[in-house]
Structure 1
């Protein structure tokens, strides 16, 4: 798909909306309204800056996109949403131009709409169950639910109409939350609304978890994260930074010494995986976690104002095919790499990254080496990366994930000359909590084991998000936070 400028998209939407009578719309005419493309920065410009790529719908665009919704009576989209937002309700309000009502409906279920509207993989969740997409036989032609959510969340902020949800009278109960990422913040939101005293403990010096250290500025501006979190602070949620539970304070001490009535662990999964191949200790090999944390949290890309060092390479390879791999590849390009490869052992069809992120990466000049896998990282006489030796692959039978298993082709070895490698192969759970809490049951991967209520092996301690699921999405982590909060509410009311 060719790049279309924001001005052209805006003009087309303004002209089209004048021809539509909303009161006369029926399912057939709704489906005839064209999908509204997201305006974005020119690829040749944006690959040299850290400003947000997607620019957001115009008012005409959001109304047109909302009019595409059929308002299905069975609302299948809600079942696809991990936090059960009333999707038809907020879309109907947006179609009418009542954006204040629209964001109010969203905030009944979600504390982070501006974040979710930007980074959640709607195409595998709410959009996957959309009747419009099923009728079109293409999930990417479903109603663009996330783009509408983003618009009304941005409208609320830009018009200084941020709604702070009502908090129930104090219950006298206290809840500690470990981690200020999406799961912890979602739990804090629901627990505080019920009137409990909520304190969030964050290991880093900034709040937000993966939304600040993992997701780049060009995909999720940090100012937006700060404003979303500020709403929780205005509700009365307390946030303590530079506090590493398991080191600064034992997990069980929060209950036994600090007087909390319950604890929710939302510490994420931040221990990066490596391939275990020769050369991974060479200078110029970085986990995507470290690379992105240096850039995102510590702003190493801003060389004029930040003293945080980051490795400047001319030719970079990213190993992996998820959203984090796309973030690392696109960051490397912006930091100055002349050539960036994404090395992935399956085909594009099997990539777990969002379609939109892959499309943006291609527009920005990222090179994709599919059906390829590194077997060795090559170093020079000074111990620095000089290239990778790879094997070509072909796809065999499906594995346990349902994706076709990559099978190496014997004798297909070849070399790519490089000076940096960034493995992006997922994460394991950090063992700090489990090592310091012997009674906390974990599985063989180090993830905390919970029951159907998100309760751990220790009474009054619950867990959710990546520390339970392994690496997951923002919205899945939020769904876990909401479910755990519901369980904790029942405990505290008993």
Structure 2
């Protein structure tokens, strides 16, 4: 056979392989995206059972078949913790569910959490070739992540990452939210003695106090935390760094590195008349009391008032969590009040959908300008200014503009303000040497998450001022890699 014949044969073979692959991919792209099984809206709106029920094995394998084995998997570009998405998806397609869970754990300390609460539609799934090139719905990466993590937990065969011999170096983590837990897991896998200090009585940070169980059951969080315990991470609760233990005491106890992940627990308010009335509170207080302090129980030491006409001010995920919680606590009229249109809402599309199904009323293009109360000082009405959309602001969203004279007054007996949070000021105020912005966030090197103090790193909301779970976890991973490199010098 001549050289020319060999080349021609190889070209023909390559062409046939490409044709076969093209036909197979055409079959894959014809598979419709799976839909998550959910509880009935009327039933679920009266209890705290998890709304999303997960995928069956058959659904997961079928959805995984949609993955096109892209030579350049752009989905990974959208993942802040660098999960090997193509590998775990293909393992699910083959039925290797436990191996898929192991792949997830190589880079994520909280796969079952992320599969539930991360905004995949804005991250990994937004980079999927289906949405980028084919104009179709992305592969349901988040659903598949949840499936693999849930399968492993329910099988009882939970894998624990291999931990090397301890190197004898102690590191401290301040805060047990997603940034702190991600950092702790990565440092434990590098052989460090890791101690996590948590101010509250429960481990999990915002995963426990900020996200209701109908979206993220506490049991799910506890299982992931238990894996970290088995990896050797120690947790100390009811310990306020900066009060219970000082910066100097941490150093005296031999901690060579400190990662600050104390979150953003300071609620923002609008500073309008009537915000001090009884019945007006922040979403932070409301959700923390309900989620962590059994406030929905009338026999609780700290019961929460369960309003019948509840307004939640804001349009983010926390606002959706708050209004859906109010619905479950007996609100007959539960309202979202948001100054922009629904298209500008930062909340996940899924959360808005679930809220609507559960009977939540959306008062978009409305902004509260005053709350009115009775002689006892309890809120009875909210005064709303109607808005319209003008030109885009710095965020790229169209700016809400007042419609002069368009005022509406609505009866309420409870108002929950959910317009964002500011960083917890305790650590910036009690630690010396840190650079702090006018917003109260800690200044860090964005590549390493290192602060102005060499052995202190920070990430999550204390740096970002408010972010998603997965972005906070990405900060934790980045800080762990940088601190490890620094401590090995």
Q: Distance in 1 between matches of 2:22 and 2:438?
A: 58
Aligned equivalent of 2:375, options 381, 390, 393:
381
Aligned match of 1:66: 64
Q: Does 1:350 align with 2:335?
A: no
| Residue 194 of structure 2 is aligned to residue 198 of structure 1 | yes
The alpha-carbon deviation at position 133 of structure 1 amounts to: 2.0
1:267 and 2:262 correspond: yes
Asked whether 1:187 is paired with 2:217, we answer no
Contact 1:178–1:245 under 8 Å retained in 2: yes
Match of 1:93 in 2: 91
Cα distance in structure 2, aligned partners of 1:438 and 1:169: 34
RMSD: 1.4
Q: Which runs of 5+ in 1 are unaligned?
A: 1-21
Cα separation, partners in 2 of 1:96 and 1:25, compared to 1, 3 Å: farther
The structural deviation recorded for 1:81 is: 0.1
Instruction: Tell me the alpha carbon deviations over residues 5-60 of structure 1, each in whole angstroms, 9 at most, x when there is no partner.
Output: xxxxxxxxxxxxxxxxx999722111100111000000010000000000001111
Shift of 1:434: 1.6
Q: Secondary structure at the match of 2:224?
A: helix
Equivalent of 2:236, from 222, 237, 240? 240
Contact 2:294 2:303 in 1 (8 A): no
Give the match for residue 314 of structure 1.
308
Q: So what's the TM-score if we normalise by structure 2?
A: 0.94
Cα shift at 1:258: 1.1
Question: In structure 1, how many angstroms separate the alpha carbons of the residues matched to 2:428 and 2:420?
Answer: 20
Instruction: Identify if the C-alpha distance between structure 1 residues 252 and 408 changes in structure 2 by more than 3 Å, giving closer, same or farther.
Output: farther
- Aligned with residue 437 of structure 2, among 443, 450, 466: 443
- Out of 464, 482, 485, the residue aligned to residue 487 of structure 1 is 482
On the 8 A contact 1:390/1:415 being kept in 2, the answer is: yes
Measure how far apart 1:301 and its partner are. 2.6
Give the match for residue 131 of structure 1: 129
TM-score (norm 1): 0.93
* 1:104 has 2:102 as partner: yes
Aligned-pair distance for 1:114? 0.4
The counterpart of 2:473, out of the listed 474, 478, 485, is 478
For residues 25 and 245 of structure 1, do their structure 2 counterparts lie closer, same or farther at Cα, with a shift above 3 Å needed? farther
Residues 250-265 of structure 1 correspond to what in structure 2 (within 5 A)? Answer: 250-255=246-251, 257-265=252-260
Matches within 5 A, 1:326-405: 326-405=320-399
What SS does the corresponding residue of 2:405 show, helix, strand or coil? coil
Cα distance, 1:416 vs. partner? 1.0
Displacement, 1:299?
A: 2.5
Instruction: Supply the distance in 1 between the matched residues of 2:87 and 2:98 (Cα, whole angstroms).
Output: 12
1:144 to 119, 140, 157: 140
The 5 Å alignment of 1:278-297 reads 278-297=273-292
* 1:226 corresponding residue in structure 2: 222
Aligned to 1:50: 48
Offset, 1:395: 0.7
Say how many residue pairs are matched: 469
- Asked if structure 1 preserves the Cα contact closer than 8 Å seen for 2:260 and 2:457, the reply is yes
User: Cα offset for 1:113?
Assistant: 0.4
Q: In the TM superposition, what are the counterparts of 1:458-473 in structure 2 within 5 Å?
A: 458-473=453-468
CA displacement 1:246-272 (0-9 Å, x = unmatched) = 1111124312x1111100001111000
Report if the CA contact (8 A) 1:277-1:376 is conserved. Answer: yes
For residue 307 of structure 1, report the CA deviation from its aligned partner: 3.8
The one-character-per-residue Cα deviations of 1:87-130 (angstroms, maximum 9, x if unpaired) are 01000000111101111111100010000000000001001100
Counterparts of 1:437 and 1:171 in 2: how far apart (Å)? 27
Greater C-alpha Rg: 2
Partner Cα separation in structure 1 for residue 196 and residue 282 of structure 2 = 28
Q: Which residue of 1 aligns with 2:31?
A: 33
Partner Cα separation in structure 2 for residue 113 and residue 23 of structure 1: 31
Can you list the C-alpha shifts for 1:205-262, whole angstroms capped at 9, x where unaligned?
A: 010000000000100000110110000000000010011001111124312x111110
Deviation at 1:302, TM superposition (A): 4.2
In the alignment, the residues of structure 1 paired with residue 239 and residue 482 of structure 2 have an alpha-carbon distance, to the nearest angstrom, of: 25
Secondary structure in structure 1 of the residue aligned to 2:481: helix
Cα shift at 1:294: 0.7
Task: Tell me how far apart the structure 2 counterparts of residues 25 and 33 of structure 1 sit (CA, whole Å).
Answer: 13
Q: 1:349 to 1:252 in 2, by over 3 A?
A: farther
User: Which residue in the other structure is 2:9 paired with?
Assistant: none
3-state SS of paired residue (1:26): helix
Q: Distance in 2 between matches of 1:448 and 1:395?
A: 34
